[in-house]
Amino acid sequence: MEQYYNLVADKKMQKEHLQAQRLCHEYNLLDPKEIEKRQQLIQKIVKKIGENFVIEQPFHCDYGYFITIGDNFYANYNLTILDTEKVEIGDNVFIGPNVNIYTAGHPLDIKRRNENLESRIPVKIGNNVWIGGNVTILPGTTIGDNTTIGAGSVVTKDIPSNVLAVGNPCNIIKKL
């Protein structure tokens, strides 16, 4: 059974969320030429990021401290990570523009949803993964190593290693 939390009522989480929003805002306003400042600031936002990374502006997240990113990472414009739970991203991951990664969900029952309840389910992205533009990755999913997710896909379930997967919902097209 899925567990739900009332993050709206959690004053500590509200404060941490506001801090992440402020840091993301500052990051997004930096001149793109200020590469060193951008890299220093993103290291303050996310829990861990490896060597050789670029996160194009704008970037948005809920907390940042749930996000870990490996070496050789590139994210194109407008990456949004709703990280109410762990988001683990491996090495050599490339993300297209307008990608959304969600760990938060809400009850289908209207009464419970109106109580500001939300679930928190981790997302994991393996090594050597390419995620095309306009992809949405839903809570609780894992994308295996050496996998490509085609543009516009909605990842609703685990995708294994060594495949090309596309569509809404995202399905395996072929083994790589």
pLDDT of residue 105: 92
The tally of domains found in the chain comes to 1
Tell me what pLDDT residue 1 has: 57
How do residues 4-49 score in pLDDT, each as one tens digit?
Answer: 888 778 899 999 999 999 999 999 999 999 999 999 999 999 999 9
3 state SS of 11: helix
Is 1 contained in some domain? no
pLDDT of residue 116: 87
Q: Does residue 28 belong to any structural domain of this protein?
A: yes
Q: Is residue 3 part of a domain?
A: no
* Residues 159/144, Cβ–Cβ less than 8 Å: yes
pTM, to two decimals: 0.95
Catalytic residue among 17, 25, 60, 106: 106
Confirm if 176 and 163 have CB atoms less than 8 A apart: yes
Would you say residue 16 lies in a domain? yes
Q: Does pLDDT of 62 surpass 60? A: yes
Give the pairing of strands 163-166 and 171-175: antiparallel
CATH at 146: 2.160.10.10
Give the ranges where 103-173 is alpha helix by DSSP (H): 110-113
Asked if residue 4 belongs to a domain, the reply is: no
17 is a catalytic site residue: no
The residue range of the domain holding 72 is: 11-175
**Residue 2 belongs to a domain:** no
In a domain, 131, yes or no: yes
- Domain-embedded: residue 5: no
pLDDT tens-digit map of 80-125: 999 999 999 999 999 999 999 999 999 999 998 899 899 999 999 9
